[in-house]
Amino acid sequence: MTLRPMEATSRLPRLRDRMTEAGCDGLLVTSLTNIRYLTGFSGSAAMLMVTHDSSMLTTDGRYRTQATEQLGAAGVEAIIEIGLPAGQQDALAAFTRKTGGRRVGLEAGAITWAAQRSLETVLAGVELVATAGLVESLRRVKDEGEQDRIEAAADIADAALAEVAGMIGGGCSEADLALALDTAMRRRGAQGSAFETIVAAGPNGAKPHARPTDRPIRPGEMVVIDFGATVDGYRSDMTRTVCRGEPDGPQARRMYEVVLASQAAGVAAVRPGLRAAEVDGACRSVISEAGWADAFVHGTGHGVGIDIHEAPAVSATSADTLEEASVVTVEPGVYLPGEGGVRIEDTVVVTAEGCRAVTRYPKDLILA
C-alpha cells in the first residue's frame, strides 16, 4: 500500500499550545519516542528543547547526518547541535538563555532523578517543573499517515501468520514458530517485530506473557500467538489462539467460544466518546457470566502507535475516553493454570461510526 505522509509539521505548534496551558516557557523532551513523534528523529540519544518560538535538538556525532536528514524529511525546523554530553548541555543552557526560558517543563515519566539534578545545575536560574502527558496527549489521535503505517504493519503480520501457520500441524516447537513469524515479517518488509513474539502452547498458554520455549506443540493443544510488525516506526498487535487438531476436551473449546464472544462484544462497544473502561466492561461481563471472572487477569487493551503500549488505556480503572482516530487493542483472555489459556486480539481504529479492525487474520478456531 502507498503510505500517506504524516502531519509532522503541525505537532510542534500543537505542543506549544499545551505548553501555554501548563504555564511553561519551554519543554525539555527526553522521551525518545516523543522526540521521534515531534521531529522524525529516530536515534538512540537526544534531547529536544521546545520553546514558544523555536526548538533545538541535541545529539552526538553518530547522528550528525541522520538528524539533518530525518528532520528535513519531516519538514521540521529546529536547530541541531552535535557534541559530547558536556557540549550538548552547554548548547542547551545557551539556547534556553537566548530564548528567555524562565519556567521549563520536564517530562516526569521520562527523566531520572540523576538527570534532573544535573539539569538543575546546567539550567541554573531556570525553574524546572514536572509535566505529564503533554506530548502523549497529542499522540492519542493518529493522523492518516500514522494509521497507514499501523495498517501496513498489521497487513504484514496477517500475511506472516498465514505463511507459517502450517508448521503447527507438524509439531514444531514454540520457539521455532516464533522465529518463523519474525523472519516472515522481516522478509515481507517489516523493520522488525513490534515486541517479543509470544507463542505459548498447552499449559504455557495460561501465562499471558509466556516466552517461547523449545517445547513441541502437541496434538489437541491450544496455542496462543501474540505478535506484531513494525513499519516506519509504527507497530501492530494481534493475538490468535489456534489448536493442533481437535482440542483436548470440551472445556478448551468452551474457553475459546467465550473469549471469542467477549472480544466481539468489546469491538462492538468501541466508539468515540465512550469511556475506555466501558469497553473493558463489555468484554469482562461475557467472561464473568461464563464463570471465569478471576481468570481474566489483565486489562482489555491499550493504545498502539510508535510504542506498543501507549494511551489510551482500555481497562477497568482507565479514566480515558476514546476519540475518533485513536488506535487501540481489544484483547480479552481466559487463563487456567496448569491447563492453558485463550486470548484473541485485534488492533482497531476508532471511527465516527464505531471502529474498523486493521488486523484481519481469521478468528475461527483453526484446526491446524
- 96-140 confidence digits (pLDDT tens): 999 988 999 999 999 999 999 999 999 999 999 999 999 999 999
Domains of the chain with CATH codes: 8-139 (3.40.350.10), 144-357 (3.90.230.10)
Q: What is the pLDDT of residue 1?
A: 75
Nearest to 222 by CA among 333, 347, 359: 333
DSSP strands (E only) in 219-339: 222-227, 229-231, 234-235, 238-243, 301-303, 310-314, 327-330, 333-336
**How many separate helices (H) and strands (E) can be counted in the chain?**
10, 19
Task: Give the list of residues 6+ apart from residue 284 with CB closer than 8 angstroms, or none.
Answer: 262, 293, 296, 300, 316, 332
68-86 confidence digits (pLDDT tens): 999 999 999 999 999 999 9
Sort 262 into a burial class: Cβ within 10 Å, 0-12 / 13-18 / 19+: buried
Of 64-68, 100-104, 279-283, 333-337, the least confident: 100-104
Task: Give the list of residues 6+ apart from residue 353 with CB closer than 8 angstroms, or none.
Answer: 271
Nearest to 360 by CA among 116, 351, 368, 349: 349
Q: Return the half-sphere exposure (C-beta side, CA atoms, 13 A cut-off) of residue 301.
A: 38
> What's the rounded mean pLDDT across residues 208-223?
96
Looking at the chain, the whole-number percentage of residues with pLDDT higher than 70 is 99
Does the pLDDT at position 364 exceed 60? yes
> What's the rounded mean pLDDT across residues 231-245?
97
Q: What is the pLDDT of residue 367?
A: 58
Q: What is the pLDDT of residue 100?
A: 86
C-alpha cell at 176: 521455532
Residue corresponding to grid cell 503500549: 309
Q: What is the pLDDT of residue 62?
A: 98
Q: What is the pLDDT of residue 78?
A: 97
Does the pLDDT at position 368 exceed 70? no
DSSP strands (E only) in 279-326: 301-303, 310-314
Q: What is the pLDDT of residue 159?
A: 98
Amino acid at 320: D
> What's the rounded mean pLDDT across residues 237-263?
95
Q: Where does the pLDDT of residue 63 fall: very low under 50, low under 70, confident under 90, or very high at 90 and above? A: very high
- What average pLDDT does the structure give for the chain? 96
